[in-house]
Amino acid sequence: MNEKIVVKAEPYDFEFEPRATALMVIDMQNDFLKPGGFGEFLGNDVSLLRRAIEPIRNVLSAVRGTEIKVIHTREGHRPDLSDCPPSKLRRGRLKIRIGDEGPMGRVLVRGQKGHEIIDELKPLEGEPVIDKPGKGSFYATDLHLILQNWGIKYLVITGVTTEVCVHTTVREANDRGYECLVLEDCVASYFPEFHEVGIKMIKAQGGIFGWVSDSKRFIEAIRGLK
């Protein structure tokens, strides 16, 4: 469909072409959302992130079967940790660090249970999963290449955490020329106050990093695409 769809959003309506749009689901992994993972070892209450699961699930089922592409990311490292900066390994002086054995296998290591995307949001065949060593989804990954090959101009952003991997990705995407729409109820933080300010920062100054809407307004806008 060449026609543009309009979503009610802030700071003003977001217009996008479905065939040039990708839905990104960022880092919805056991390590961040389940007890006994990296998020908990950092000292966080991981239950705070669960509020995003149901809205993301609704958006995924609205988007699947339309021209809008779906792409997932996971934060984590090679088993030999050769892609993990020593600064990241040291940071926090944690008792259980990246690469150590935890209840869900080695923490934040690819191939381990903790690194997997949560059961509720498992990727379907044909939906690429980008493994990233950093917070930003573009850094040291082939995300930009895939999006360019698909002709993507617009990104609909969901996932965790609002002020860390979501924000870093939105900022990276913005500098690469993508128009980003963040769905407020589909992103979450261990710190509700950071979530609130993080969302405000995206849409301030005329949408300095992009637009903000929510799952209901987005789903309403794409009703009729299937």
Q: Residue 27 catalytic?
A: yes
Task: Name which of residues 121 to 150 contact ligand C5J (CB under 6 A).
Answer: 135
Contacts 24+ apart (CB under 8 A), 60-64: 60/23, 60/25, 60/121, 62/218, 62/219, 62/222, 62/223, 63/23, 63/156, 63/222, 64/124
Annotated catalytic residue, options 69, 84, 135, 165: 165
Contact criterion met (CB below 8 Å) for 17 and 7? no
Residues 20, 177: Cα–Cα separation, whole Å? 13
Q: Out of 63, 165, 188, 221, which residue is the one contacting ligand C5J (CB under 6 A)?
A: 165
Q: For ligand C5J, give the closer residue by CB, 9 or 164.
A: 164
Q: In angstroms, what is the minimal distance from the CB of 157 to ligand C5J? A: 12
Residue among 27, 31, 185, 214 flagged as catalytic = 27
Interface size with ligand C5J, residues (CB under 6 A): 8
Nearest to 157 by CA among 217, 92, 216, 72: 72
Residue listed under structure tokens 């020329």 = 177
27 in contact with ligand C5J (CB under 6 A): yes
Both tokens of 88, joined, read 């990241």
Site map 57..96 versus ligand C5J, x via CB under 6 A? ------------------x---------------------
Nearest distance from C-beta of residue 42 to ligand C5J, angstroms: 7
Q: Which of 5, 7, 30, 32 binds ligand C5J (CB under 6 A)?
A: 32
Q: How far is the CB of 163 from ligand C5J (least distance, A)?
A: 8
Q: Does 172 bind ligand C5J (CB under 6 A)?
A: no
| 132 catalytic per annotation | yes
Among 71, 164, 183, 221, binds ligand C5J (CB under 6 A): 164
From CA 21, how far away is CA 35, in angstroms rounded?
Answer: 34
User: Does residue 160 touch ligand C5J according to CB under 6 A?
Assistant: yes
CB of 11 to ligand C5J, least distance (A): 25
In the residue annotation, 45 being an active-site residue is answered as no
**Contact residues for ligand C5J (CB under 6 A)?**
27, 32, 75, 135, 160-161, 164-165
- Catalytic positions are 27, 132, 165
